[in-house]
Structure 1
Amino acid sequence: MEKHGKTPEVVAAHDNIETKQVYRVLNGEHSSTISVIYAFAKGLGVKPMELFDIEYQEI
């Protein structure tokens, strides 16, 4: 969200999900479903797969 300059409120409003649900997912208190991932991506204006584009670092 920071990368795209959007707040949890903006992401939630874009696809009619509750702001508290966004915070629960971000804090690891709620598991993400495909519909939530899609809503996040839509709110951020990115493809859902971009949410999983993370760098892997071996320990």
Structure 2
Amino acid sequence: MKELKAAYTKKFGEHLKELIQRHNTDVQTVASIGNIESKQVYRIISAENEPKITTLLPIAKGLGIEMKVLFDFDFDFSVEGFVEK
């Protein structure tokens, strides 16, 4: 299960980075609008921290998107080694 969480956290960070780029903004701007420190966003992007709701709400605000968009990415939970048999 630890590997699954790590893989999901990494994929989430990649998706967040892509969203920031797609919205033609940067981490500092997103953090500033959301009133959080930019290092919190960087740590999610680099998969150092698991995304927490208390950080994701300001990130969504900073991007001007609904929370559900942050979770709208493909993740294969059936990858070998992740599915319990």
- TM bracket, shorter-chain basis: 0.7 to 0.9
Please give the secondary structure, in 2, of the residue aligned with 1:31. Answer: coil
Q: Which 5+ residue runs of structure 2 have no aligned equivalent?
A: 1-19, 80-85
More RCO (CA 8 Å, sep 6+): 2
Alignment gaps of 5+ in structure 1: none
Taking structure 1 as the reference length, the TM-score comes to 0.86
Aligned length, in residue pairs:
59
Taking every aligned residue pair, what percent have the same amino acid on both sides?
A: 36
Structure with more of its chain in helix, by fraction: 2
Poorly superposed stretches of 4+, deviation over 6 Å? none
Whose radius of gyration is greater, 1 or 2?
2
TM-score by length of 2: 0.62
Q: What value does the CA root-mean-square deviation take over the aligned residues?
A: 1.5
